[in-house]
Every structure is written in C-alpha cells, then in structure tokens.
Structure 1
Amino acid sequence: MSRFNQVIDRMNTRSVKWDLTESLFKNDQVLPMWVADMDFQTPKAVTDAIAERAAHGIFGYTITDEKIHQSIQNWLSTQHDWDIDTKWLSFSPGVVPSLHTMIEALTDKEDPILIQTPVYPPFYDVIKKHERTIVKNPLQQQDGKYEIDFNDFEEKLKQGVKAFILCNPHNPVGRVWTKEELQKMADLCLKHDVLIFSDEIHADLVFPGHKHIPIASLSDDIAEATITCLSPTKTFNLAGLQVSYIVTPNAGYRKKINDQFGLQGIKMLNTLGITALEAAYDHGDEWLEELIGVLDDHKKYLIDTIHSHTDKVQVVEPEGTYLVWLDCRGLGLSHEELKTFMQEKAKVGLNDGASFGEEGEGFMRINIACPRPILEDGVHRILEAIDSKE
C-alpha cells in the first residue's frame, strides 16, 4: 500500500480538522474535508529527525543558524530557481502572523490594501484588524478559469493603494500565476509605488504543466518592493509545528519587520519546528514528488467523477494547492441552503465559499489531500445527496 493511501485515525490527537467536527458541523457523522492540512504522514526523514532531537531531552532556547539558512537557500534555488541571500531571511511562527507584522510595520492606519477576491479569509482579517482599508480586485471567471482583470487592477492601484497582498498559488481558486501575469502585476505595482506582500505558502504544491515563480525573482527592482512569506508547513504537513520565514531583500523593510517582531516578543521559533524544516528541505524532495503524483490523480478523479455524474456542480481545475474550488450554483440553492445541504444532506464538512468573500457565494472548497478511500467517500456522499435532491 502506498504511504499516501494508508488511512490514519486522527481522532483524539487534538486535531482541528477531526476533533472539532461535531462542534463545527453539529454532527459527528460529517466527514471533514475542509481545513488546509493533509491526512498524510510527513516524510520519515522528518519524524526521524524529530525523534532524534526529542531523545536529547533538553528543549531550551533554540536559534536558526547558518545551516538552517542554507537549507532554505538550497530549497528555493533547486525547487524554484530563486537564488536568495541568507541575510534576507526573517522567521515567524506562521504566514498569518507574518502578514499581521508586515501590515503593522510597513503601512499606516486607513491605508488601502489590495486583495484579489475570492481569497483566503485571513487576508480580510489582517487588513481590518489593523484598521487599514480593503480594496478588492475581483478575479474574473472565464470558461471555468479565473483570470486577473488588469484594467481594474490598475484603476484600484491609482486610488492610493499602499500594499497588494498576492496569493500565489491562489487559495481558493487554484491558479498558479504565469510569468507574464506576475510581471504585469509587478510592473503596475512599481509604477504606482505599491508594496507587494506575497503569500507563497503553497509554492511547492504545483501540478504537472505548471511552475511556481516567486514574484520577487523576476527582477532586482521587483525584489526590492516585495516581501515574500514561505513555509514548509503546507508542503510537508507540519502546520502544528508553527515554522515559517520571510524573504525581504530590501534592508530597510527587513529592519522594520524585525523591529515589529521584537515589539510583539517574537524572537525565535520552536525547537522541533526548526528541526522539521531542516529535515524536510534537506531530504523531502522525493516524498514531495510522490505526493504531487497522488494529488494529481486525486484531482483527476474528483473532476472525472463529478462531471460524469452531474452538471449541477462544476470543479474549477486547480493548477496548484490541494484545495479545490467547487462551483455549486447549478444546484439552485441559496448560499445558506447550500451550506445546510453539504452539512446535513451530504454530511461532508467543506469550507464555506462565502468566507472567501461575497464572490464565493454558491461555491464550496474541498481538501483532496487525504487517502483515496476518504476522498471517494466524500465525493460519493455529495453525489448521493444530489441524486436524492433530484
């Protein structure tokens, strides 16, 4: 049996995804396929490294040394053709804390900040909580694929936008932005003096035929205007270890970010997170290659099975991430009815599309990073509920 087809019981492990099912969905029979972590074990090299470090028995204050910095540098170079200077690195427990820090350090109250909707819900939260102003550049769905409205993008930038939070690969619509798209967005940001905060946490999870390009890798000028957030946590299922990093070529911005971390009391990462990052980046490439193959098969299964059975739900084919955007508007339900239908009739726990913005009404997001039996169970539940509705 493939290591990715083994069903592992995650109940009673304090799992957000599994142990909160009843409280979130009001029914312990709901199959959770929502929050963005995987039901796969991390590479053995990672668990071995953690076990070896744990056996030492002392978990005092722990630094990120040059060896860790080089692991990151090598990973970005080999995986994404991006050559960074290790001096550009800062560290954080997660990408969302990093976004909070960047907004506080590099923008001012009421500054307009641009996002491309529908988008990861914390983007709204980090803007609102710091009393900045949300500006939307809604993505346009054309022939089932999401595209950027560049005319609207520039018009919004002209309104005094201070920063643009880029999501690449995009969550939830699954786009991996092309070099041409990235170049056009970056050029417009430079033209209008807009900072780019780039969330690239899904960078490693890209399907065959597509390539992730860090926007800061396009040119030195773009790099100077860009702060990039990355982490091994989505790639290797390490979210609970809370480890991420920021790449900031601009020394002035980097100092402001690090000073802001200092004001928050964030000085270092946890010991096992650092251990996991190093092991994953040094030894995880073969595991990742196998994972991508499994996710690609899962994606094809989801699309083929749903589209051969019903035209009421359209799968927006992702180019990256293990999160898939389902267009359920053909079911003819209001958004509240759709949520009830999935939760009570299909008994699957999906992400509510409207939580990604009003552009997500009528959509749901499903997580396909699970063993095939779980995926098949979830898909069949949805299709059986559609059949019974008709």
Structure 2
Amino acid sequence: MDSAPFATLLELGRQARQAESPAELQFLLVNDSHALAPYRQAALWLDGGVRALSGVVQVEANVPYVLWLDALCRHLAQAHEARVVVRASLPQALAGEWDEWLPGEALWLPLGDADGVLLARDLPWRDGELALLAEWAGIWHHAWRARQAPRRGWDFWRRARRPGAGARRPWRWALGLMLLALIPVRLTVLAPGELVPANPAVLRAPLEGVIDAFHVQPNEAVRHGQPLFGFDEALIQSRLEVARQALATAEAEYRQTAQQALADPRAKAQLAVLTGKIEEKRAEVAYGNDQLTRARVVAPRDGIALFDDPSEWIGRPVAVGERIMRIATPQDVEVEAWVPLADAIPLAAGSQVVLHLNASPLAPASATLRYFAHDAVERPDGSYAYRVRARLDAPTEHRVGLKGTARFSGRWVPLGYWALRRPLASLRATIGW
C-alpha cells in the first residue's frame, strides 16, 4: 500500500497547526490540498461568504464568478454532508452557468455546520481521494476552530452547551463573574474639596464707601483690636464738620432766643422748637462720629486674616454688607466639598470622608460628615452641586485654602452595582426608562 498520501496528510496537518495567521490557514486549504488529489479550482466558503480562492491572493466579492460561487456554496451548505456535485444535481438557476465557471465535476466538503470547501476538476472523483480529502478537511477545521475560538463568542457559548469536562469551563467563568459581582464593597463617590475655616469671623463692609488702605497682609496673624483696613474718611470728615457747625449755630440761636424770652413772651414759645433742632444736630454729629469709627475696622478676635490681594480692594467702592475678609483660628478647620448631582448618594451624618490634597496626596485628611445641603447650588462653572461640610477627626498641619479631592463612603453595595451605577444612570437619562 502506497504510504505517500498519508505522509502528505501528516505534513499538511503539521502546517495547519503551525500556521501563523487565519489567512495562511485559508491559503493552505485552497492551494496545498492539491498534494492529496489534483483539482483545477478550489473555493473556501466560510462565515456566509467566499473567503479564499485557489491561485488568487485576494477575493473580489462583487465579480460575477464570486457571486455565482457564493450562491452555489450557500445551496450546498444546506446538506451538511460531503458529496460529489455535478451540474445535473443543481437547480436550474445555478446549473445554467456551471459550464461558464467550473469543470465537469466538483467535490463539496463540509467544515462544521455551515462552512465548507469546494474542489472542482474534469476527472471523476475516486473513493480513496474522497476519504483523504474528508480527513484533511476535518484536520483543517480543527486547526481553524482552535485559532478562532477566543474571538468567536457564539462558538464559545455553543461549546459550553456540549457535554464533557471542557464544557463546564465557560460556565465556571460565568459563575465566577456572578460571584465577583456580588462581593460587597463600599459605595464611594469623589468630589472636589478644600480646607476651609469652620467658624470664621466674617468682616463685611460696615458702610458704603471706598476702601483707602489695608494695614495687614493676606494670611497674616492678627490680634484682637488690631487695625485691619480703613475707608476713605474725607467725605465722612466733611459731613461731620458740617454737622458740628450746624450744631454750634443751633446752640447760639437757642442762647439768643433764651435771652430775648426774658422780655418778650413770644420768643419764649420758640425755645421748644430750637431745643428740638439742637437735638437733631447733635444726632447728626453722633452719627458722623459713629461713621468715622466704623471707617476704621479692627480685628474682632485673634486669628489669621483671610482675604484677596489688597491691591484689588484699595480704591474700590463697596456696598454695605459686602464681605471683605475672614478671621479664622488656625486649628478651627474643616472640609468643604461640592458633590455633583449625579453623585449624590445617600450619606448619613457621621459618614467617613477622606480629603486627598493636591499639595500632599500621600497624607490624606480624615473627616466625619457634618452637613449635607438639601438644595443644590449653582457653581461658577454653571453646574449644580450640593455643599458638604465635614469635621476633621484630628488637627492638621495643612493650611486653609488647600484644595484636593474628597472621597465619600456610603453604604455597602454589590460590586456589580458599584461598577454599573453611573452607566445605568446615563442609560436611563438617555432612553427615559
């Protein structure tokens, strides 16, 4: 018995196992199968289309030959069995063009459930050639499935339904993923935060006017009663001087009328009017003195002066009640953060908050939630967020004003919910479900 065909089959199997790409495997099937049995033409039908042709580097999908082959292979793939194909066994629509594209006989070899390879030649096919080619088709299909299995999800789950030891492995992965999704984790959100004074003394403009000078610098330590800044006093001084002159005139007029009242009863009746006028002018003088005192602002307590660049304030008119600076105690610090609307998870008072400062990311500040605003506030960038305040668990060496990222820890939830919370919220907002 001639062993050459079996040696050729073994060699083709070795080449199939060592193929470095799917294209190389396809080329091997339609071209090198000629070593087992001679043929004139070969076509590979794969995944619902003609993927490779013998003697052709690249298949042109829209040429008439390929379109006819596509229809022919689609018809032959319905049988799921190897067979010799002749023109007489085909429908009239396919048989009419057989002589134009193919020689006398063809051999159809199925590759799995829906794929196959077509070999055509003039001579009839012999039984020995059919057996060799069928075995080679099985070897090639096994090599193709081994290469394509990681990329074809349908085949992955189709193999999972087959009995056997290997069939349980995909379900093990699925079960493992389900168990992983049920692992409880803390529901956490991130928000921009910073260190702010907990109970600062806010200094607002006591009167309407123009700031004339600052006596302290930003972040400077101040003491109780120390001058901080002052308003332009020229207008206040002029008004006070006018009020004083008006008071002096009213008092002189009262004295003159009092002397006349000794001899003229009618002048005595004017004394009550002049007395009220004097009290009015005294009130104006007192108001002027009070305004002059208010124009010189002093520190209400010891602390650190927190405000912007003094040059931005000097010469700038301010309204009554406008905030100018804050006096904060160095150790009276807490965390303030702004939680976006999409991250407003339920947070109870006493929840853990950790602030990772940009200036010191390796030394986070731990805090306890104290206050979560009920209403969202518009931010400078146009977005809305909830104000959150948290009390530091321990004194910190970081100064007020340092910014970073605050992490809020909520209730325990499954890992799957933690990972899919934001995508599900975006999906609901998009489709309205």
TM-score, scaled relative to structure 1: 0.18
Higher relative contact order (CA 8 A, sep 6+): 1
More strand by share: 2
For the pair shown, which has the larger CA radius of gyration, 1 or 2?
2
